[in-house]
Structure 1
Amino acid sequence: MDTVAQLTIVRHGQSAANVAFADAHARGVAEHGLTGRDADVELSPLGWHQATQLGRWLAAQPVDERPEHVVCSPYLRARQTWTQAADTAAALGATLPPADVDDRLVDRLMGDLELMTPLMIAERFPAEAARLAADGLYAYQPPGGETFDHVAARVRAALADLNTGHAGRRVWVVAHDAVVVAARHILEGLPFVDLDAIVATTPIANTSLTRYAHADGQLGLVEFAATAHLTGEDRHAPLSR
């Protein structure tokens, strides 16, 4: 086998930034009250609960279905998600592997626009807001930041190393929605415009699971943005293309 046996990508639990951005949008204001770096944004109370639910669900899985290797984004919200899940599982008698950190699994780098709401960008950098509208979300490169092609390049390298170093094993990646999008682009050859339409109908929810399994020499999508582990209900998303 020249790939991992199974690849599961987990988006981190709800973060303080997720809450602040949603609140600012709902109120129609630019400011969200956050300070500091995106990399240091913590989980929200709901995010901690979601990570706990993930750990409970993992503890209930058969041993031969739990992850054998875990790699995590260095961002605090991703590391907190896995630490809480693993600690919860351990308290229930299930041992999960500690996460290795891979800097290539960070969220999309927004450079000078880091942690800015759309209204903040429009007010402070109107030329960038116009360029974003013209280029589109995936092709736009903020000053000092990345396009999605840049994200895909680093995620591609990280996945290649996982396939080389952990072929035949169940591997989990704890990261960000941008990493999930990049993985689908890489593994399925989906153009970003198609992925944009998919995510519009099936958002990549916090702590959702996107899973691939090895078959016929390659990794095939099994489920996308699944949240049944958070609710106890059968709510796996359809395999949209």
Structure 2
Amino acid sequence: MGSNGSADGSRTGITGLVLIRHGESEGNVAATQAREAGAHVINVPARDADVGLSGTGREQALALGRLLAGVPEASRGAVWSSPYARARQTAELALQTGGWRQQIGLDERLRDRELGILDMLTSAGVEARFPEEAQRRRWLGKFYYRPPGGESWADVVLRLRSLLAELDREHPGEEVLLVCHDALIMLFRYILQQLTESELLDLAATTSVLNASVSRFVRPGGTGSWELESFNLADHLTAHGVPVTEHAGDASVHPR
């Protein structure tokens, strides 16, 4: 095997990163219904890790697979996924439909953000049941607020930095496909584009990552700065008559 180094002697890493949000989940549907109804509790059918795709989410994963079928065999790199059911099912359906033979690597660092005591609560539910936490969240903003028993976005960034370092070691010269969650895709942008907290929160307040959307970063040669080539694309869904779904979180993200 050849060296993993570049011509200037530096070590090379992955050359591309394709980020895919899971298809619409039963939890997405339940959360949107709860918010629209002004309910305090989201009626999810299982713990967060076990909530699977909705019928629409499965259609989205199949449409994603038809997109992946067009990727040449030689360009198909490693595939990693969040172990949460909605992401794992999206990856499995898409790869099977696309004819990819890669084994899916499951990694807990790609799981969704842990919400601790706020799990299964809408914003109205947090205000009603934990008003002090609601005030603390407003004061700190979304990036640094850590709910009791949960994670802040800054906490999630730490595990993503660890994952990126491992991808560079394990898959130098490859483009890697990751299936994960909307918050993680935003935080990958924070890391790879070297955004400030304010820039990240401005983006989060105005942009929703669509279900089964595709974003792509490239870094030719495996070293140097990353370039965001595309973000939040869902043309592969509309091309096959599959609904494009938008299930956003709380848009109140800035400290105040």
TM-score, structure 1 normalization: 0.89
1:221 corresponds, among 220, 225, 228, to 228
**Residue number among 15, 33, 47 corresponding to 2:43 in the alignment:** 33
Question: What do residues 20-49 of structure 1 show as CA deviations (whole Å, max 9, x unaligned)?
Answer: 111111222223322431111111111111
Shift of 1:81: 0.5
Matched residue type, 1:80: Q
Give the structure 2 partner of residue 75 of structure 1: 84
Give distance in 2, aligned partners of 1:213 and 1:222. Answer: 7
* Aligned residue number for residue 247 of structure 2: none
Q: 1:105 maps to what in 2?
A: 110
Matched-pair contact (CA < 8 Å) for 2:18–2:215:
yes
What per-residue deviation string (whole Å, max 9, x for no partner) do you get for residues 134-165 of structure 1? 11112111001111111000000001100111
Distance 1:96 1:172 in 2: 13
> Which residue of 1 is the match for residue 196 of structure 2?
191
Given that 1:151 and 1:178 are in contact with CA atoms closer than 8 Å, whether structure 2 keeps it comes out as: no
Moved over 4 A (4+): none
SS at match of 2:69: helix
Q: Which residue of 2 aligns with 1:146?
A: 151
**In 2, Cα distance between the equivalents of 1:129 and 1:203?**
22
> Given the alignment, which residue of 55, 58, 71 partners 2:65?
55
Does residue 45 of structure 1 match 2:55? yes
CA distances 1:38-68 after superposition (whole Å, capped 9, x unpaired): 1111111111111010001111333344x31
The normalised TM-score by structure 2 is: 0.84
Q: 2:135 aligns with which of 117, 130, 145?
A: 130
Contact 2:34 2:43 (8 Å CA) reproduced: no
CA deviation profile, 1:154-196 (whole Å, cap 9, x unmatched)? 0000011001110101201111112112211111110232122
CA distance in 2, matches of 1:4, 1:185: 18
Aligned partners of 2:37 and 2:206: how far apart in 1?
24
1:202 aligns with 2:210: no
- Distance (whole Å) between structure 1 residues aligned to residue 127 and residue 90 of structure 2: 32
Residues 96, 200 of structure 1: alpha-carbon distance in 2 compared, 3 angstrom cutoff: farther
From 138, 157, 161, give the equivalent of 2:162: 157
Taking a change above 3 Å as real, the CA distance of residues 32 and 149 of structure 1, as seen in their structure-2 partners, is closer
| Residue from 10, 22, 25 that aligns with 2:20 | 10
Q: CA RMSD in A?
A: 1.8
Larger CA deviation: 108-117 vs 30-39: 30-39
Quick check: 1:202–1:225 contact (8 Å CA) kept in 2?
Answer: no
Identity %: 38
How far has the Cα of 1:229 moved from its partner?
Answer: 2.1
Q: Deviations over 1:66-103 (max 9, x none)?
A: x31001111111101001111222xxxx2341210111
Measured in 2, the distance between the counterparts of 1:141 and 1:202 equals 22
Aligned residues: 229
User: Aligned with 1:212: secondary structure?
Assistant: strand
Q: Structure 1 counterpart of 2:186, which letter?
A: V
Higher deviation after alignment, 15-24 or 201-210 = 201-210
